[in-house]
Homo-oligomer: A and B are copies of this chain.
Amino acid sequence: MSKHPVINFGILGCADIARKVSRAISLSPNSTLLAIASRSLDKARSFAAANGLPTDTRIYGSYSDLLDDPDVDAVYVPLPTSLHIEWAVAVAEKGKHVLLEKPVAMSVEEFDLIVRACERSGVQLMDGTMWMHHPRTARMKEFLTDGEAFGQLKAIHACFTFAVGADFLKNDIRVKPNLDGLGALGDIGWYCVRAILWVADFELPKTVTAQRGPVFNDAGVILSCGASLLWEDGKAATFNCSFLSHLTMDITAVGTKGTLHVHDFVVPFQEKEASYTAASGSWFNDLVTAWVPKPSEHIVNTDLPQEALMVKEFSSLVGDIKVKGLKPETKWPTLSRKTQLILDLVKRSIDKGYEPVDVVG
């Protein structure tokens, strides 16, 4: 027990995504959902009932009350982005570890304040980018880092879109400037940028140039946009994200010797099995009427869904801090910060009339 402590989670708010993560906490062997909080006790009670939470789950009618519970080790924060700065800092200042939904903040400056609060308290900070924890992700990375099979990285394209309905466009927090004010860029562009940086081993590009033609709502929130990233060594990436196009979720990575395709990188088509396609050393047959070799599909199974693996990884780091006295893992907030930085620069490039903006890490 002391070697593998079970981490007690609290959840702030009853966002839709909290349903998925509360289940993930239950599925994760080193985690338990101890408490949930909403701004109203009724809403929290309804959430607990609707999601079949154990009857001993502690229910709080205010976020502060949950943070005052000394038994809560870690807090999952799925609140609207504009509230992250307030509540993630509050969680850290209570000495509790922070699992923070993406986008992590409204800007990298805000995120830096959250990071510093976590550092001061010695708590773990990780963002909620679930696909990073799928075993497929590690398998794809093996391919991408295989010099013989993939070669030198040259180009990346990422796309994440889904077509929302009229109600979303009118009422969802992701179209409200004072809530998830980064709109589609923050909500789903985040994944594209994370994917691109992940493929590029988190080397920051030299410049970010927004594509012309982003779509805004009347309140100025981005509903659709894209950008190009260019690195010092000449490799390049493009992405597009949109609330206005059918569900699409692609990473294409092209090296000198290989190509990777994945079409469900954020949420796999199915929970327990995911695949990707890899081609390596492909060329044409003699008359250029076929490929030799053809790309191959690789299937990766997982017992736990990726969101439970995320919780498990987070709880494992928290456990190491609690039991072994280790320091928080800085890798995760570093990845969060780089992702947020690129989002900020896409916005800045849009504001500058689609001029390239330099990336200063």
B-binding residues in A (CB < 8 A): 16-17, 19-20, 23, 150-151, 154-155, 157, 159, 161-163, 207, 209, 211-213, 215, 224, 226, 228, 230, 234, 236, 238, 240, 242, 244-248, 250, 252, 254-259, 261, 263-264, 267-271, 277, 279-284, 287-291, 294-295, 305, 307, 356
Contact = CB atoms under 8 A, between A and B. Distances in A.
For the complex of A and B, the 9 pairs showing the least CB-CB separation, nearest first, are A154-B245, A245-B254, A247-B282, A248-B259, A213-B230, A269-B294, A269-B291, A270-B290, A20-B287
9 contacts: A157-B157, A163-B256, A212-B356, A213-B236, A242-B254, A245-B254, A245-B259, A247-B282, A263-B295
A230 B288 CA distance: 33
Contact of A154 (B242, B247, B269, B279): B242
Contact of A238 (B161, B211, B287): B211
Given A246-B151, A279-B246, A254 B291 contact: no
A157 B159 contact: yes
Given A246-B282, A247-B259, 7 more contacts: A20-B287, A163-B257, A211-B230, A212-B230, A242-B254, A246-B256, A263-B295
A20 B289 contact: yes
A259 B271 contact: no
Contact of A246 (B224, B242, B258, B307): B258
A166 to B, nearest CB: 13
Contacts of A16: 288
Contact of A254 (B159, B271, B288): B159
Given A155-B161, A226-B236, A307 B289 contact: yes
B209 A234 contact: no
A19 B289 CA distance: 11
Contacts of A151: 163, 246
A267 B240 CA distance: 26
Given A246-B151, A246-B257, A289 B271 contact: yes
Contacts of A250: 252, 261
A307 B287 CA distance: 11
Contacts of A161: 154-155, 254
Nearest to A307: B289
Contact of A279 (B212, B247, B295): B247
B269 A289 contact: no
A282 B227 CA distance: 25
A248 B252 contact: yes
A226 B284 CA distance: 23
B289 A305 contact: yes
B212 A234 contact: no
Contacts of A284: 247, 267
Contacts of A212: 207, 209, 228, 230, 236, 356
